[in-house]
Structure 1
Amino acid sequence: MLKILKNKLEQGNKTSKYPKEPIALYHRYRGMPVINTDCSADVIAECVCICPQEAIDATEKTIDLGRCTFCGQCESVEGEGGAFVSFSENFELGAANREDLVTGGALPALADHSKQHFKKLFGRSLQLRQVSAAGCNSCEADTNVLNTPFFDLSRFGIDIVASPRHADGIHVTGPISRNMRQALIDTYEAVPSPKVVIASGCCSISGGPFRGSEEIIGDLSSLVPVDLYIPGCPPHPLTTLHALLNYFK
């Protein structure tokens, strides 16, 4: 016991002070895209051609964060007027509406779209059942990180629970394979009403890299109503934390 106390005193408090204090991510992190509308049409056209997710619209000069895997290929294309897309270190990517993810470089503040009755119903406590619907484990791993001492998700009254019957909603990752379709629906129905649904990662939002495959559903909103979208491949833990705190708390 004395060794444990000594070790604790030596290590100190390792928990991040976010959101009370801002936190900076590594400079190679790709977050909110910055769109350069003044670049040449040829640069935009090349970005459209090389985007593996068909996430870029040359006419509207937008990028669909629900499809984007943040691979960075578009960022490497430069020409007259500079590059069309550059990625900032802004990790605040959550959205309440699917159409908001089709962006020219900005998203509406989550607090402006938050359904206030959620706050009244759940107060300072939110229990979520995480459902991996054929995910590759990247989104799942970065969600699990939120339970480490650095993030300490439970200090905000948010917990991942084992049973949907003990949950206020579901947090879904993965492209939703056909084999997982019924299990996902059963989990959703097992959650007592009122309940919330979170689509996390581009796979659950649009199918991600598996979009178009006959073996996946690829769009969670086609099965159950979605309240919160968290884009990314995978979403950074801070992206998820920011979305949860600003939408539900």
Structure 2
Amino acid sequence: MIHELLARLAQGHRTAGFPAEDPVLPDRFRGRPQIDRERCPDGCRDCAEACPTRAIDMEGGAARLDLGRCLFCTDCVDACPHGAIGYTRDYRLAARTRGDLVLAGATLSGGGELPPPPSCGRHAPCEARGSSHPASPRGSAGGAPAAPSPFLARALDEKARRLFGRSLKLRQVSAGGCNACEADDSVLGTVVFDLSRFGIQFVASPRHADGLLVTGPVSANMRLALQKTYDAVPPPRIVIAVGACAISGGPYIGHPEVAGGAGAVLPVDLFIPGCPPHPYTILDGLLRLLGRLEERAAPVSGNSRIAEVDPNH
């Protein structure tokens, strides 16, 4: 036992400094998608036609992108010969309403700097095509999160924050998921993220829960089970949809054996997009819902500093 204690002492402090510090993200991280309309010529629909879930809409000359459908797969990046679309480093994606996930105008074109137009694309062969664009791995733009976006999740009302702000118990329901979103939910309990330091925990029984965290497209075989689990949670209760499948059905959109997301069965209080969403994206959404985050003024560098605040403030 003494050897284990000494080893743990040698390891030191391993919990990340988030939210007081910016998260450390992998080099190939894909955050919020962005379209540079100045590079995007009128009438071009290459990205929209390449998207497997029809998350991009270019009708009427105005670009719209549905984060709830987006799989972050880079098919649109590879298809665009103008380098007009890419992924920023902004991990903050959660929203309170389904409509807030449909980005257009400033929420779609701002927030990060895209790499220079690639010399490759569907119309111009390139040695790197299919694996990465030379200027940025898989179209991932560099830089840190930009200034606050208007679609970011708002906190619960004051009454709900008094109930859940310091202690939130969630029952996780995999409604036909592939286990990717489930894995990133589970990793929040590790020493790096330490979800419980915020008073948030996953519980085994819906009777002990304050709400549900749903993943998966809600398959036909899971629809009744999901409804019964929701009914077993004592009111007031909240529902959180995590991942493209739980929001829109993801790659199974329109399939007769899926409901098309948790919103087709239950009222959803928080949508966290991604396929799967990064653990920091999930954690950021949960803390925003509880009123545990506030945005500080963005410095010149464009970094967004986040601080934990008193939920009862």
TM-score (norm 2): 0.75
1:153 equivalent in structure 2: 195
Tell me the equivalent position of 1:241.
283
In the alignment, the residues of structure 1 paired with residue 22 and residue 157 of structure 2 have an alpha-carbon distance, to the nearest angstrom, of: 25
- Sort the Cα spacing of 1:33 and 1:43 in 2 relative to 1 into closer, same or farther, 3 A: farther
The equivalences for 1:162-241 within 5 A come to 162-241=204-283
Aligned to 2:51: 51
Q: Determine the structure 1 residue equivalent to 2:22.
A: 22
Give the structure with higher Rg (CA).
2
Q: Deviations over 1:71-103 (max 9, x none)?
A: 011122344xx3231101111000001001000
Q: Which residue of 1 aligns with 2:4?
A: 4
The aligned counterpart of 2:311 is: none
Cα displacement string for residues 105-160 of structure 1 (whole angstroms, at most 9, x for unaligned residues) = 2552323x543332112230000000000100000011100011110100110000
Aligned to 1:134: 176
Where 2:45 maps in the other structure, the secondary structure is helix
How far apart, CA to CA, are the structure 1 residues paired with 2:261 and 2:281? 20
Aligned length in residues: 246
Give CA-to-partner distance per residue, 1:154-187, whole Å, 9 cap, x none. Answer: 0110000000000000000001001100000000
- Rounded to whole Å, the distance in 1 between the matches of 2:74 and 2:157 is 33
What are the superposed Cα offsets for residues 213-237 of structure 1, whole Å, 9 maximum, x if unpaired?
Answer: 1010013112111000000001111
2:153 to 107, 110, 130: 110
Mark the CA change 1:44 to 1:170 in structure 2 (over 3 Å): closer, same or farther: farther
CA distance in 2, matches of 1:235, 1:143: 9
Q: For 1:110, give the aligned amino acid.
A: A
Partner of 1:71: 73
Aligned residues of 2:214 and 2:246 also touching (Cα < 8 A):
yes
Q: Output the amino acid matched with 1:100.
A: D
What residue identity is the alignment partner of 2:34?
V
Structure 1 spans left out of the alignment, 5+ residues: none
Q: Percent identity over the alignment? A: 48
Question: Mean Cα displacement is larger for which, 229-238 or 116-125?
Answer: 116-125
Residue 310 of structure 2 aligns with which residue? Answer: none
The match for 2:63 is 61
Which structure dedicates a bigger proportion of its chain to helix? 1
The answer to whether the 8 Å contact 1:94/1:230 transfers is: yes
* Alpha carbons of structure 1 residues 246 and 128: separation in structure 2 relative to 1, 3 Å: same
Alpha carbon RMSD of aligned pairs, Å?
1.5
Which residue of structure 2 aligns with residue 101 of structure 1?
Answer: 101
Conservation of the 8 A alpha-carbon contact between 1:43 and 1:77: no
Report the TM-score, using the length of structure 1 for normalisation.
Answer: 0.94
